[in-house]
């Protein structure tokens, strides 16, 4: 989630490189924790480490007109699985062992997943099209989380602290001479430099109010900036329109990270110490703050539901509109909810 453009050899640049390294390590550690939990759960329930989960149907979610697709990692070798939530049926994927890390855009059918093979802060990943599960897109190394375009057709990542790649799915990767963090709504890559300036297509958009850990655009055109993992600022254009603290790491709730932003950037989900927190960023229309028991979570494509990973189930909570909870008794690790 962090991008750094044309790093200069200065203390400030080294600090920015350290931040992106810390985030990459935290992401890898989260994948390790999920993988270890899933392996332990498999052993505790008498399953072999590589056993697949049951192929039961996905649940029906009331009032959700376009439920989309959900992809997740399963116990044992963190096998990648996916379901069409409209039909409830599993997507016919080949047996894909992963590192437990899964990432997907809000719209589309592509999923990126870790495949191992790299060391240090680098993680190797591949991409799968859930609409064409047998298609291959190669393997790549990244030192940062992935950035997806809003239409789900492009993926960008950093391979060093000063360079990266853009993959237009269906074509070969394109070298970038900066570290991409995000896409704006036009599909232009964005990054941050050593002066805390957010750049879009190489041009300054605004200067953040602290060290930038990540940023992302919402469907309404707003921009949310994660400032040091402790506060999120919400902008419309270059104007600051809201700010909210994010619970910092504490001995009781260690390793709190920003897990995901709602599609309209009005709320965020954070994860720490098996607790998922829903944080209002100033314009959320549901009930917040709220907490759920779980180790991972993601938003529905319409922003009205969250899927929370518990020890042996995925639990769907409606957070905007009438209260509803649907429990799906399937063990999972990281997950991604796509609009399809």
C-alpha span between 202 and 210 (Å, rounded)? 20
**Each residue's pLDDT tens digit, 206-232:** 999 999 989 999 999 999 999 988 889
CB-based contact 207:233 (threshold 8 Å): no
C-alpha span between 316 and 332 (Å, rounded)? 13
pLDDT on residue 252? 62
**Each residue's pLDDT tens digit, 101-151:** 999 999 999 999 999 876 677 889 999 999 999 888 899 999 988 899 999
Which residue segments constitute the domains of the chain, with CATH numbers given? 11-338 (2.130.10)
Give the chain's residues under pLDDT 70. 1-55, 118-119, 247-259
pLDDT on residue 299? 96
What are the phi and psi torsion angles at 99 (to 5°)?
-90, 10
In whole numbers, what is the pLDDT of the chain averaged over residues? 83
**In what order do the strands lie in the sheet containing 324-328?**
296-299, 305-309, 314-318, 324-328
């Amino acid at each position: 989630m962090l991008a750094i453009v044309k790093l200069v050899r200065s203390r400030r640049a080294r600090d920015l490189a350290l931040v992106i390294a810390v985030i990459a390590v935290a992401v890898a550690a989260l994948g390790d924790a999920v993988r270890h939990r899933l392996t332990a759960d498999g052993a505790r329930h008498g399953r072999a480490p590589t056993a697949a989960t049951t192929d039961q149907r996905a649940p029906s979610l009331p009032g959700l007109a376009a439920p989309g697709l959900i992809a997740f990692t399963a116990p044992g070798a963190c096998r990648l699985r996916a379901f069409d939530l409209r039909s409830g049926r599993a997507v016919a994927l080949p047996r894909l062992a992963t590192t437990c890390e899964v990432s997907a855009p809000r719209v589309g059918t592509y999923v990126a997943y870790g495949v191992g093979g790299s060391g240090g802060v680098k993680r190797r990943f591949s991409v799968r099209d859930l609409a064409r599960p047998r298609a291959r897109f190669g393997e790549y190394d990244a030192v940062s989380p992935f950035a997806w375009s809003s239409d789900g057709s492009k993926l960008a990542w950093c391979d060093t602290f000063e360079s990266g790649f853009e993959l237009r799915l269906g074509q070969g990767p394109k070298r970038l001479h900066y570290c991409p963090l995000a896409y704006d709504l036009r599909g232009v890559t964005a990054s941050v430099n050593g002066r805390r300036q957010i750049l879009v297509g190489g041009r300054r958009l605004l200067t953040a109010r602290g060290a930038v850990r990540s940023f992302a655009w919402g469907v309404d055109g707003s921009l949310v900036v994660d400032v040091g993992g402790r506060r999120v600022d919400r902008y419309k254009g270059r104007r600051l329109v809201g700010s909210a603290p994010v619970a910092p790491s504490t001995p009781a709730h260690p390793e709190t990270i920003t897990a995901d932003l709602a599609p309209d950037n009005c709320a965020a989900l954070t994860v720490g110490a098996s607790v998922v927190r829903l944080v209002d960023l100033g314009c959320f229309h549901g009930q917040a703050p709220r907490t759920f028991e779980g180790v991972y979570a993601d938003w529905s494509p319409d922003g009205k539901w969250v899927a929370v990973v518990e020890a042996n189930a995925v639990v769907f909570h409606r957070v905007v509109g009438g209260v509803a909870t649907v429990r799906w008794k399937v063990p999972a690790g990281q997950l991604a909810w796509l609009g399809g």
